[in-house]
Amino acid sequence: MRVHLMHLFVVTAWNSYCCAYVDIDLNQILLYLKVDNTKSHMTLKKQKKTLVNPFIKLIEDKIKIADAVKDGKPLSTLKDIKFVKPL
């Protein structure tokens, strides 16, 4: 549930809805996103299996990286992003 709420928080923030990260009523979020309950139920089930939506996480990671670069912080401070150096 925590992961799912983070995804919804990111999406709703972009739509200028203010939501407390912790105290989010899922039904209210679903209403804002105009997602019906059956779809969201299926989404929850999928996310339970896979834990995290990789595309949403990728956008979240890009935002964190952009903020770190802007603030002059090294990428090593971003502990939840798995950087690789394939070159």
Partner 1 sequence: MSNHYNLISVPGGYEFTTISGDVYLVYFTEFSLLNPDDEQNYIETYSFGFNCKRANPDKRHRFDAKTKATILNILEQYFEEHGEDAFLYICLNTDGLARNRWITFGKWFREIENDYERHQSRIEYGSQHWYSALLVRQDNARKQRYIDAYHFTLKQMLEGSDDDAEEPKE
Contact residues: partner 1, CB under 8 A: 11-12, 14-15, 33, 35, 39, 43, 46, 49-50, 53-56, 58-59, 61-63, 65-66, 69-70, 74-76, 78, 81-87
Structure-block tokens of residue 76:
């090593």
Cα-Cα-Cα-Cα dihedral sign, residues 72, 86, 55, 43: negative
For partner 1, the closer of residues 2 and 82 by Cβ is 82
For partner 1, the closer of residues 1 and 75 by Cβ is 75
Neighbours of 29 (CB within 10 A): 20
We find the least distance from the C-beta atom of residue 54 to partner 1, in angstroms, to be: 6
We find the least distance from the C-beta atom of residue 84 to partner 1, in angstroms, to be: 5
For partner 1, the closer of residues 2 and 85 by Cβ is 85
Would you state the torsion angle of the CA atoms of residues 13, 41, 36, 52, taken in this order, to the nearest 10 degrees?
A: 30
- The tokens 């923030």 sit on which residue? 13
